[in-house]
Structure 1
Amino acid sequence: MTELDLRDAVPTDIPALHALIESAYRGETSRVGWTTEADLLDGQRTDPEELAEIIAAEDQGILVAWKDGDALACVKHQHLGDGVGYFGMLSVAPALQSAGLGRRMVEAAERVLVERHGVRRMRIQVFPQRQTLVAWYQRLGYALTGETAPFPYGDQRFGLPRRDDLSFVIMEKPLP
């Protein structure tokens, strides 16, 4: 899977992006891969309006990996200011997970933020209940900061919680 077209998302990509992200995080389809949040949340992971806002923003965007017209993976990247970047919404088609594409997308988001904004540190938010995911990010060089962030309970745009103890741990990695 070396020949991918990696590019910034544009508004016409939103239907394909939305389908990819939902398939990676929600519902039975997501259980094919290992990134599912189906045990933590029901409902949606995102919506077309949020994706349009991200794509239109000056300080953020979504990188998409395409092959033969299919969106295989994507990652949101955002410049937070003061040399700090953020990535999230990392999505790989469930049937293609565990093949190195997620790592490539993280590296691409890091590279974009360094090149476009001079970012020196990357931050991410992860559910602490997802220990395999936390461990994966640690293998990529991300470390727990000891900081947490609340889950946006009451905002159905981010899903319908299946439990009342959701929050995020913050992880960070220095960049060259």
Structure 2
Amino acid sequence: MTDPVIRDATPADLEPLHALVESAYRGDSARRGWSHEADLLDGQRTDAQELKTLLADTTQVVLVAEASGELVGCVVAADKGQGTAYLGMLSVDPDRQAGGLGRRLVGAAEAVARERFGAGRMEMTVIHSRAELIAWYERLGYRLTGERRPFPMQDPRFGLPRVDDLTFVVLTRDL
């Protein structure tokens, strides 16, 4: 396999980007990787309209990792203002997980936050019960803040909960 190139996503990436995100987060395909939400949520992770909106929003950058003409990873960096950026939608093809691509994508998103948004801090949210994923982010230098945020339990655009107690924890890292 060729080493993926990380670049800004374009509107031409919309369909394969949507397929990548869904395969990394939901359903049986997600279970091939170590990091997924398939046991917590059914339904979609995102939809084409949300991705189209992300691509058009100048306060957000969608980065994709491409190898041999295929999208194999993505991440979103969003400018929240006041020196803070948000890291979201980190997705790696389940067959490529545990190979360092996720770490590379996080680093690329942090560079975007610093260089394009002038951010000195990155923030993210993770479902509280995903201990293995939280531990992975902590190894990258992120720290739990103690803050919790509600999960949109009644909004099927974010998935159909399989459990009743979904909440997000907030992690941050100085850039």
TM-score by length of 2: 0.98
1:5, distance to aligned residue in structure 2 (A): 2.2
What amino acid maps onto 2:171 in structure 1?
Answer: M
Q: Deviations over 1:90-115 (max 9, x none)?
A: 00000000000000000000001100
Matching of residue 158 in structure 1 with residue 162 in structure 2: no
Q: Distance in 2 between matches of 1:29 and 1:4?
A: 20
**Unaligned regions of 5+ residues in structure 1, if any?**
none
2:171 paired residue number? 171
Return 96-105 or 1-10, whichever deviates more.
1-10
Provide the aligned length of Structure 1 versus Structure 2. Answer: 175
SS of the counterpart of 1:80?
Answer: strand
Q: Which runs of 4+ in 1 moved over 3 A?
A: none
Instruction: Give TM-score scaled by structure 1 length.
Output: 0.97
**What does the per-residue CA deviation read over 1:100-142, in whole Å, with 9 as the maximum and x for residues that have no partner?**
0000000000001100011000001001110000000000000
Structure 2 segments unaligned to the other structure (5+ residues)? none
Aligned match of 2:70: 70
Partner-residue secondary structure (3-state), 1:85: strand
Structure 2 letter corresponding to 1:138: E
Quote how far apart the aligned CAs of 1:35 are.
1.3
Give 1:171's aligned amino acid.
Answer: L
Is 1:110 paired with 2:135? no
What root-mean-square deviation, in Å, do the aligned CA atoms of Structure 1 and Structure 2 show?
1.0
Task: After TM superposition, give the deviation of residue 2 of structure 1 in Å.
Answer: 6.8
1:46-95 CA distance string (max 9 Å, x none): 00000000010010021001011100100011000000001110000000
Counterpart of 1:90?
90
Fraction of identical pairs, as percent: 55
SS of the residue 1:61 aligns to: strand
